[in-house]
Amino acid sequence: MARKGARRKTDFGLRSGNAPARRTRENGATPAAPRRGMTGLERALLAVLALDGALSFVLHYVHAQLRATNGAYTSFCNVSDRVNCDTVLGSPHSELLGVPVSVWALLTYLLLAALVIWRQRASEPGRTRATLLLVGIAAWAFAFSVYMAAVATFVIGALCLLCICMYVLNGVAAVLAWRLARAESHAAPLLSARRTMIGATAIALALALVGGLQFAVTSVSTPPLTREEVRSRDPEFYQWYTSRPVITGLPASEHAKGPADAPITIVEFSDFECTHCARAFHDLHDLERQHRGTLRIVFHHFPLDSNCNPHVASHLHQSACLAAIAAECAARHGRFWEYHDRLFAAQDRLGRDDLVASAAALGIDRAAFAACLDDPASRARVLADVEAGARLGVKSTPTLFINGRTVEGALERGAYEYVVALEHHS
């Protein structure tokens, strides 16, 4: 009977799982925490982090291309003067301690993903530590996003659509991390008032440090190149540029921006349908922004279409004449440069309806604009530019006259910096 009872007790212990537990206690080992399934919040947070990581890869690619081409690269996110990822990613604020912010972002998302996996597998107190770190780093990422959005808006003066998408995702990640912490709270809240205050103070100090580092770097002015430095760096360009003919008697400036007494004036003959002109537009826009106060940009029409340019033999750019006329109509309403920028930003949409829609987007009355497109005076204004260009020997676009020095075609982005140096010391 005793033997039978002992056997039943053993069987019961095996069935209930107590025997392995007893053996574990006898061996002095700590029982392993049972692995739990991943919650919906954790899966959602990992999905958001994956999207953030993909965006950081794209941002880093654009940043790298801008660096490799000295700013000549144009991304799909280069929408307009105001909405322009290239302007933001090409600025000095796009790096921190010499490393692209996109790389720092990617490392942050990898760390957050690792914390999600750690807390999902860990037992107490490791799970609590992982949760607190997760909330703190996610909050820091969102706070840094707000800081960078402010820098882009008020310092750089441009908006990056890709960056904005990342900022929104960072906000979603911070909310999901906070909800995970709330779900983790049992007897006492995990995010106590004391912990929240410490975290907020740490984030504020970190932002102050980062801002100080960034603005310290960007405020250091780079000494301007000298004529001899340009000659030593690129003797071939120096020889070519200084041998270009200098033209006098340039036409009066109907459309100009920059101070009238600027030391460097760039007169441009251009075509709104010309892809090389679009490249020159982006480069000159960036150059004028970087050297504000020292450059004056003057625009003249030279459409490569015999409909309004008798000096070309073909309809090479069939929408160029109407686009030039439309720009003159926008000028009647004081919106030439805004409209000019829109035309170059959307060279595949230069049909009549597109031109009217672009004007309406700037607040110009549709009917008045449409009537202006058919006004012979608008066409005559374009033809006057064409004839002025022909007298100067313009045959292709873009043709630039930099302080009168003739440059046919768009330069490489870095070459414009050489031009500024040479003209400053001429």
Please give the full DSSP string across 180-222, using - where no structure is assigned.
HHHHH-SSS-SS-HHHHHHHHHHHHHHHHHHHHHHHHHHHSPP
d(CA 107, CA 44): 19
- Give the CATH architecture of domain 227-424: 3-Layer(aba) Sandwich (3.40)
Q: CB–CB of 85/350 below 8 Å?
A: no
- Give dist(CA 319, CA 339) in Å, integer: 15
Q: Which CATH number fits domain 40-216: 1.10.3720.10, 3.90.1720.10, 1.20.1440.130, 3.30.70.20?
A: 1.20.1440.130
Mean pLDDT, 10 residues at a time, the chain of 426 residues: 44 42 46 63 94 95 79 73 82 86 95 92 84 93 94 86 95 94 72 84 90 67 74 92 92 90 95 91 83 90 94 87 97 94 89 95 94 96 96 94 94 86 82
For residues 104 and 96, the answer to whether their CB atoms sit within 8 Å is yes
Q: What is the pLDDT of residue 185?
A: 66
Residue 148: its pLDDT value, please? 94
**pLDDT at residue 35 in the model:** 55
Q: Which residues contact 38 (CB under 8 A, 6 or more apart)?
A: 120
Closest by CA to 245, choosing from 385, 397, 403, is 403
Q: What is the pLDDT of residue 366?
A: 95
Supply the pLDDT for residue 117: 92
> What's the whole-model pTM score?
0.56
Supply the pLDDT for residue 19. 45
pLDDT attached to residue 15: 41
C-alpha to C-alpha distance for 258 and 298, rounded to whole angstroms: 9
| Res 137: pLDDT | 95
Q: What is the pLDDT of residue 214?
A: 74
Domain span(s) for CATH 1.20.1440.130 in the chain: 40-216
CA atoms within 13 A on the CB side of 241: 25
pLDDT of residue 121: 85
